[in-house]
A and B are shown apart, each in its own frame.
Chain A
Amino acid sequence: MTESTPVAAPRRAALAPAAPTHLSADIVARARELIALYPEPRSALIPLCHLAQEQDGWLTPEAMVDIAGLVGVTPGEVLGTASFYDMLHTESVGKYVVAVCTNIACLLGGAAELLEHAEDSLGVGAGGTTGDGTVTLEEAECLADCDRAPCVQVNHRYVGAQTPESFDQLIDELRSGARDADIPAHGTLIRVRRTTGIEADPAAVVEERRAAADARAAREAASDGGGA
């Protein structure tokens, strides 16, 4: 990425962030809902990256520029932050990201052999994407499903312990669309949207809470007094 950075002349810095141009209106609306959940907009940066991946399958530079404007940081900070995290892909990935855990418990359960099989049968090394753009294979760290070793996730959905044979079948099912119902294309993480919230000024809630606590204390003092 940075290798080919064309160096343009510095210009008077943009003084206000531009409106989103790449993310769809629906995604932007959901992004604004997410931003509203946090005291500071930047907290929504990672959820917004997930959202952008829902649209594009991966985190495109255009999406990062939009996110930067939405949460008030530079695009460089979005890239800097996103590239820290394994789930945020700053380069394109296949429709299915197939993650094979090879960490200790899975290793003891034959994960290295499974990964080797996966590489052979898909014809790509870990980190690579098949020529048809369907499957990206990843060597994962522990996925917290160690009693079903070797553990595999497709687009962050657990598919249970895999043998070489079941793995090939899984890939066939993915390619044929047989798993479309339970495994959405890569990028879609949470399909359940938040329906309600507090919808009040946090300061008012703090105030209300204090009043309720005072009232309760008064009540309790009164009843203590009555009991004594």
Chain B
Amino acid sequence: MAITDPPKIVTSRMGHDDSHTLERYVATGGYEGLRAALARMPEAVAAEVDAASLLGRGGAGFPAGRKWSMLRKSPVTYLVVNGDESEPATFKDHLLVERDPHQLVEGVVIAAYALQVSRVFIFLRGEFALGLERVQAALNDAYAHGAVGRDIFGSGFSVDVVVHPGAGAYICGEETALIESLEGKRGFPRIKPPYFPAAIGLYGAPTVVNNVETMSNLPWIMTNGGAAFAALGGGRSTGTRLFALAGHVANPGVFELEMVKTTFNDLINAPVLGGGIPHGRGLKAFIPGGVSAPWFGPDQIDLPLGQDEVAEAGSMLGSGSVVVMDDHTCAVRAAWRITKFFSRESCGRCTPCREGSGWLERIMDRIERGEGREEDLDLLMDACDNISPGVAWPPQQTTICVLGPSIPSSISSAITMFRDEFLVHIKEGGCPYE
């Protein structure tokens, strides 16, 4: 495989310092996609997105066109944009909202038109103070420009777009928790069934929830056509996608790459991309799609960046974030930190997740400190099994949402791949890397 040179679909303006302004946006073809969309029937716009086979970029990878077609018919429907981006090591939406907010706004209005929704809420992670200001400023300008609000570009279509700040809780990225939070409540996920947003969403009305990056692809698709988008990538994974690369690489950052055509090896090691692992160290493991995903070892580095390809290999492309761990990394410590994250972020509603995450964290912490017992490994795996029966991927669950079954991923990966390291911690009473 090789690094291809696809068109920049969502990062075309990143080279400009003023990429977030209306002037720059309009000067670089902004809002043309929206005009093109408004000239067509809403169904035709939706069909175009369906033809693009655009997979959701929030983590679950569900085709946007299919999701839209499931929206229950109702006079009041909502579009909610998921900009909560809190999956550890994921930072691509951060880039999009700060650097190209108009692209997001345009995408949102296109989707609103296709779906004929009453109102749009852009839920942005509260910690994105600058992003919130940029999107609000872009909206103010877009209203003035006639691209949002009443009778958009003279089309008769109106939609109001509201920016909603989150307040710091990872679980609010989960779409039903996000909806609860948007209703002014704790971010407690709802039970599916029956609370599939497309059926019973915000205020009980049918609701589409899409990720910021998903929305940001729409202007290009409208201007260039769904077929052009579908021609990029491969299999079900069409188009380009943002990959956030972090951890032990020379050149961490966000890269827009063509799906499937590029591999993890390209992303991590190509000089124009990750630039390889610094200090001459080797690769120990990498996490392919956010910390909820099971880990991969060096032998899986040639896997293509494709949703189905990664799934078949037993993990997920998820939120498009890749964390690289070099061979000086303590696997126990890495897995403990991820477990601690889930324990801090569990909403606390389901027993297995609330109690299990804290228990697992304490056991992992004990092992890392050198106070582990050999039987702890079986105990860890069995407690994981009680949260996610079978501890396999895709996971089963005893919980309401998939935060629960995400907890075992790193623990079971670490134990399976680096059992010896656990045993060294246990037998030698401490971390060999310290």
Contacts and interface: CB of A to CB of B under 8 A. Distances in A.
A124 interface: no
B258 interface: no
B93 A149 contact: no
Contacts, number: 211
- Residue in B119, B126, B244, B344 whose Cβ sees the most chain A Cβ within 10 Å: B126
A197 B149 contact: yes
B341 A103 contact: yes
Given A189-B126, A192-B133, A209-B158, 12 more contacts: A38-B162, A40-B203, A87-B168, A88-B167, A104-B338, A109-B247, A141-B344, A144-B86, A146-B90, A192-B140, A197-B162, A202-B119
Interface residues of B, number: 78
- How many chain A residues sit at the interface, stated as a range, is 35 or more
A84 B186 contact: yes
B157 A212 contact: yes
A198 B149 contact: yes
A29 interface: no
B184 A206 contact: no
B246 A86 contact: no
A213 B112 CA distance: 13
A45 B184 contact: yes
A108 B323 contact: yes
Nearest to A193: B136
B223 interface: no
B259 interface: no
Given A105-B88, A194-B140, A84 B169 contact: yes
A88 B149 CA distance: 31
Interface stretch (B11-19, B27-35, B193-201, B248-256): B248-256
Interface string B336-347: 011001001101
Given A80-B186, A108-B329, A192-B140, A87 B133 contact: no
A157 to B, nearest CB: 6
B248 A108 contact: yes
Contacts of A12: none
Interface string A8-51: 00000000000000000000000000000111111111110110
Interface string B121-146: 00001111110110011011001100
Contact of B133 (A142, A144, A191, A208): A191
A41 B183 CA distance: 9
Contact of A153 (B127, B182, B291): B127
B246 A149 contact: yes
Contacts of A155: 129
B325 to A, nearest CB: 6
Interface of A: 37-47, 49-50, 71, 73, 80-82, 84-88, 102-105, 107-109, 141-147, 149, 153, 155-158, 189-198, 200, 202, 205-206, 208-209, 211-213, 215-217, 220
B162 A104 contact: no
Interface string B315-341: 000000101110001000110011001
Interface in B249-291: 252-254, 287, 291
Given A104-B247, A155-B129, A202-B118, A145 B167 contact: no
B89 interface: yes
- Residue in B76, B85, B91 whose Cβ sees the most chain A Cβ within 10 Å: B91
Given A46-B181, A50-B126, A144 B203 contact: no
Contacts of A37: 162
Contacts of A45: 184-185
23 contacts: A39-B203, A43-B164, A50-B126, A82-B167, A84-B347, A85-B168, A87-B126, A88-B167, A104-B89, A144-B93, A145-B91, A147-B246, A156-B127, A156-B129, A158-B130, A190-B133, A194-B163, A198-B149, A200-B150, A202-B76, A202-B118, A208-B158, A212-B155
Nearest to B141: A195
Contacts of A86: 167-169
Complex A-B, nearest 9 residue pairs according to Cβ-Cβ distance, in ascending order: A212-B156, A86-B168, A85-B167, A45-B184, A42-B184, A87-B168, A146-B246, A105-B246, A147-B252
B422 interface: no
Contact of A198 (B88, B150, B347): B150
B41 interface: yes
A31 to B, nearest CB: 13
